[in-house]
């Protein structure tokens, strides 16, 4: 699995705020990508997630250029600021490196099935762009996660069958992951990335057995986690080389329609 093989489909730049992270800036990310053979990445900066409405889009565009087209980016849609967000997304949709939309119901305090997201789904469907959403299980220690359980997205998935939805974190753990697996099995436009702290035994093998392998994308959730944590899970998984290639590269190219060289 030589150079230019891996695409990290879910990571961030900027300080997360919740805890200390020693490497959070674009130069840190590029250095780590080079070290690990990650050729391309799909990025959302933390400021954009909090503020939405185009915050950080210009900086992302500059980073895409400065990285020689290696770091693609998503535009965040904040449902409480829908008009401003849509204006920013409209401005950015034809920019080089712009790869889709990001929503985060738990961060924005608006459940994923709320009617205020309809304009984002309409925008994504009209322009053939994917939506990456935060998804997780109901959590006693993080109560806002109930806003992002995978089943909340089902009506939109059904109504906008031409819009691709990536359930970030694959629904998390427990019932959230089971919901995410069900949606990915039942709907052709639903995909899973396993970024983050889903530290479950044989996660990759379980996902491969549960959904078509074309539905699974590698993500690290940098800088919350070192990319080696989830990367090693794929490389060491009991899976065929062709399966690993799809998870680590090909599926991200197809879902996000990335213009990168395929070996």
What residues does 75 pair with on adjacent strands? 101
Average pLDDT over residues 92-98: 96
Distance CA(201)–CA(158), nearest Å, equals: 31
Average pLDDT over residues 69-78: 96
Report whether 129 contacts 93 (CB < 8 A): yes
Average pLDDT over residues 185-199: 96
What is the pLDDT, as a whole number, of residue 5?
84
Report whether 110 contacts 79 (CB < 8 A): yes
177 has pLDDT over 80: yes
Q: Where are the alpha helices (DSSP H) in the chain?
A: 26-36, 46-51, 57-66, 82-92, 105-108, 118-127, 154-159, 175-186, 203-210, 227-235, 241-245, 251-256
pTM: 0.96
What residues does 190 pair with on adjacent strands? 165
2 has pLDDT over 50: no
What is the pLDDT, as a whole number, of residue 1?
42
The model's pLDDT over 3-39, given as tens digits with 9 standing for 90+, comes to 458 999 999 998 887 777 888 899 999 999 999 999 9
Distance CA(72)–CA(60), nearest Å, equals: 8
Q: What is the mean pLDDT of the chain?
A: 94
Report whether 234 contacts 204 (CB < 8 A): yes
Domains of the chain: 6-256 (3.20.20.140)
262 has pLDDT over 70: no
Angle between helices 227-235 and 203-210 (to 10 degrees): 60
What is the pLDDT, as a whole number, of residue 111?
98
Distances (CA, A) of 25 to 40, 63, 196, 205, 223: 16, 11, 18, 33, 9
Average pLDDT over residues 37-65: 90
């Amino acid at each position: 699995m030589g150079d230019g093989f891996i695409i990290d489909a879910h990571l961030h730049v900027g300080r997360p705020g919740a805890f200390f992270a020693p490497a959070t800036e674009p130069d840190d990310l590029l250095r780590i990508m080079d070290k690990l053979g990650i050729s391309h990445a799909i990025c959302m900066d933390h400021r954009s997630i909090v503020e939405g409405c185009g915050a950080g889009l210009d900086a992302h565009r500059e980073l895409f250029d400065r990285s020689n087209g290696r770091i693609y980016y998503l535009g965040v849609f904040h449902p409480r600021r829908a008009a401003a967000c849509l204006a920013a997304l409209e401005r950015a949709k034809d920019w080089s490196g712009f790869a889709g939309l990001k929503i985060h119901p738990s961060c924005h305090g608006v459940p994923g099935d709320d009617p205020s997201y309809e304009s984002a789904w309409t925008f994504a469907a009209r322009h053939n762009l994917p939506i990456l959403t935060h998804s997780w299980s109901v959590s006693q220690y993080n109560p806002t996660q109930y806003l992002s359980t995978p089943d909340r997205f089902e009506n939109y998935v059904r109504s906008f069958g031409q819009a691709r939805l990536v359930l970030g974190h694959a629904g998390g753990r427990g019932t959230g992951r089971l919901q995410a697996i069900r949606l990915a099995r039942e709907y052709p436009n639903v995909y899973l990335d396993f970024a983050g702290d889903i530290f479950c035994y044989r996660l990759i093998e379980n996902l491969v057995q549960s959904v078509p392998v074309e539905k699974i994308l590698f993500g690290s959730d940098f800088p919350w986690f070192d990319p080696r944590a989830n990367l090693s899970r794929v490389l060491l998984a009991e899976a065929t080389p062709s399966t690993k290639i799809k998870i680590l590269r090909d599926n991200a190219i197809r879902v996000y329609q990335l213009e990168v060289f395929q070996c």
